[in-house]
């Protein structure tokens, strides 16, 4: 595939070197178009060496081959990484004052942007409006991630890691790059409900009990199912900033927000009414605060130096779905377990699947540093006979595809 990588003036340009490297390693013909400002961060020799193609920023170079439009016309995919606030504004307005601008106007290929900027700039109404405009035009927005930024600040604005961006690009390239296999559109006509993220149980108007789920695995499942032809309802509890962007843009995904376990339960049950498959990937709080305070709790609320909160159990949504399932409906659970060995993980997965009555349960090992807030995951999937029907490791998208394969196999009676 011929891929144009536009690089604009942000420090995250160094991450794009790795992206280009990954794409070239996969055999793609990569053409880098840096802006003048991008060259202040990473110079042309680096881009030429890594991409193995000449690099220019000027519309006046290589005029006989009409380079200012030729690259865009011939591209199968254009990705802008990092995409600064300024570049997003230029793209939204259709400005073409440099080679990247003319290329973007000349291309009919899918365009992906990976924004990178400080949190204030990302949240500015002008940037929000530009992103909205681009999204409506079909541009895919990947990220930004939340985390440490260039200065002392942190928040949403970090460019996504190159591996994750590559993963997204692979997803876009797949249909054209690979001959349509059995999985191509194998979920067409199917209605799939996916829950994702972590519920938040309020304590008072400003505090809550939450968990570390980023929502990435659930959203990856929704995207994978939709790309395979399913109509997807994605019930999103709290997810990390940027994780939902692509799902919002997907024509076959309907995103519905859900805050607490109770709200999530209501949303999932309603959506499950006519669903063929329900996947509970959300991290649902087992307990909620019995009496939510209408006013902010202060230290005076708990004289004596301690605060006791009484918690009451939330309904088990998955168990309820499994109990009430219609004929032909497939109910799938997820479980994050702290375990010492693979055997223990499989054993816990078996017991949990049985306790909940789900058709399949995908379990992954977690710890202080594993399983959360990362692009990667590893799961074992057990079925109603207690057998391990799938094992998958890799990006959350790859894990999602494997879980969907297992679901398709169960539904086919395999
Ligand atoms: N789940 C649910 N409703 C709840 C709790 C969990 O639907 N109130 C679902 C999750 O979405 C997930 C599966 O059940 O698909 C397993 O979640 P987990 O938290 O591991 O289950 P628990 O029953 O809370 O198990 P444990 O006692 O190990 O915490």
Looking at the domain covering 2-173, what would its CATH class be? alpha beta
- Work out whether strand 145-148 and strand 154-158 pair parallel, antiparallel, or are unpaired: antiparallel
Alpha-carbon 79 to chain mean position: 17
Measured distance CA(273)–CA(323) in Å, rounded: 13
Return the higher-pLDDT residue of 81 and 181.
81
The pLDDT tens digits of the residues spanning 310-350 come to: 999 999 999 999 999 999 999 999 999 999 999 999 999 99
Question: How many angstroms does the Cα of residue 319 sit away from the middle of ligand 1?
Answer: 9
Does the annotation count 314 as an active-site position? no
What residue ranges of the chain are covered by domains with CATH 3.40.50.1950? 2-173
Pocket test for ligand 1, best of 199, 278, 286, 332 (most atoms within 8 A of CB): 286
CATH number of the domain at 191-412, out of 3.40.50.10300, 3.90.230.10, 3.40.50.800, 1.20.1050.10?
3.40.50.10300
pLDDT at 104: 95
Output the ligand 1 site: residues, CB below 6 A: 261, 280, 282, 284, 286, 314, 316-318, 333-335, 356
Average pLDDT, integer, range 400-404: 96
Write down the catalytic residue from 37, 53, 130, 211: 211
Nearest CA to ligand 1 atom 8: 316
Grade residue 166 by pLDDT with cuts at 50, 70 and 90.
Answer: very high
Tell me which of 260, 284, 338, 356 to substitute to probe ligand 1's pocket, judged by most ligand atoms within 8 Å of the beta carbon. Answer: 284
Domain with CATH 3.40.50.10300 in the chain: 191-412
Q: Return d(Cα 33, Cα 87) in angstroms, integer.
A: 13
**Is the pTM value of this prediction over 0.75?**
no
For residue range 176-208, list pLDDT tens digits in order: 433 333 457 899 999 999 999 999 999 999 999
Residue whose entry in the numeric block shows the structure tokens 């309907």: 254
Going by the DSSP 8-state scheme, the letter that residue 296 receives in this structure is -
pLDDT at residue 373 in the model? 67
Give 2-57 pLDDT, tens digit per residue.
Answer: 999 999 999 999 999 999 999 999 999 999 999 999 999 999 999 999 999 999 87
- Which residue's structure tokens are 């649902």? 284
Structure tokens at 379: 């799961």
With a CB cutoff of 8 Å and minimum separation 6, the contacts of 15 are 81, 82, 159, 161, 162
Q: Which of 241-255, 261-275, 351-365, 394-408 has the lowest mean pLDDT?
A: 241-255
Residue 170 CA: distances (Å) to CA of 152, 331, 398: 34, 29, 11
DSSP state, residue 64: G
CB 400 within 8 A of CB 226: no
């Amino acid at each position: 595939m011929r891929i144009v990588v536009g690089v604009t003036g942000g420090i995250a340009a160094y991450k794009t070197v790795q992206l280009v490297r990954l794409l070239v390693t996969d055999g793609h013909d990569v053409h880098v178009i840096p802006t003048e400002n991008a060259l202040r961060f990473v110079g042309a020799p680096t881009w030429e060496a890594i991409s193995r193609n000449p690099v220019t920023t000027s519309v006046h170079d290589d005029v006989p081959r009409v380079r200012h439009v030729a690259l865009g016309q011939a591209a199968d995919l254009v990705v802008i990484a990092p995409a600064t606030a300024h570049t997003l504004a230029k793209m939204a307005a259709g400005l073409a004052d440099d080679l990247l601008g003319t290329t973007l106007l000349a291309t009919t290929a899918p365009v992906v942007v990976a924004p990178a900027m400080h949190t204030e700039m990302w949240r500015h109404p002008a940037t929000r409006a530009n992103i909205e405009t681009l999204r409506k035009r079909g541009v895919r927005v990947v990220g930004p991630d939340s985390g440490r930024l260039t200065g002392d600040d942190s928040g949403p604005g970090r460019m996504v890691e190159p591996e994750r961006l590559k993963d997204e690009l692979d997803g876009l390239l797949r249909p054209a790059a690979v001959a349509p296999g059995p999985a191509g559109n194998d979920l067409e006509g199917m209605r799939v409900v996916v829950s994702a993220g972590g519920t938040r149980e309020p304590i008072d108007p400003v505090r809550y009990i939450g968990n570390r789920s980023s929502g990435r695995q659930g959203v990856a499942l929704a995207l994978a199912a939709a790309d395979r032809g399913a109509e997807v309802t994605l019930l999103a509890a709290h997810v990390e900033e940027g994780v939902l962007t692509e799902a919002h843009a997907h024509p076959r995904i309907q995103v519905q927000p859900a805050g607490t376990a109770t709200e999530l339960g209501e949303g999932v049950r309603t959506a499950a009414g006519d669903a063929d498959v329900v996947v509970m990937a959300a991290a649902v709080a087992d307990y909620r605060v019995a009496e939510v305070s209408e006013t902010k709790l202060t230290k005076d609320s708990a004289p004596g130096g301690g605060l006791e909160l009484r918690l009451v159990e939330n309904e088990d949504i998955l168990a309820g779905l499994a109990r009430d399932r219609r004929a032909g409906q497939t109910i799938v659970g997820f479980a994050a377990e702290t375990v010492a060995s693979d055997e223990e993980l499989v054993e816990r997965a078996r017991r949990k699947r049985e306790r909940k009555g789900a058709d399949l349960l995908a379990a992954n090992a977690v710890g202080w540093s594993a399983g959360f807030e990362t692009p990667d995951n590893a799961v074992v999937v057990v079925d109603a006979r207690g057998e391990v029907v799938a094992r998958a490791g890799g990006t959350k998208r790859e894990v999602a595809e494997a879980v969907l394969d297992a679901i398709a196999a169960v539904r086919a009676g395999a």
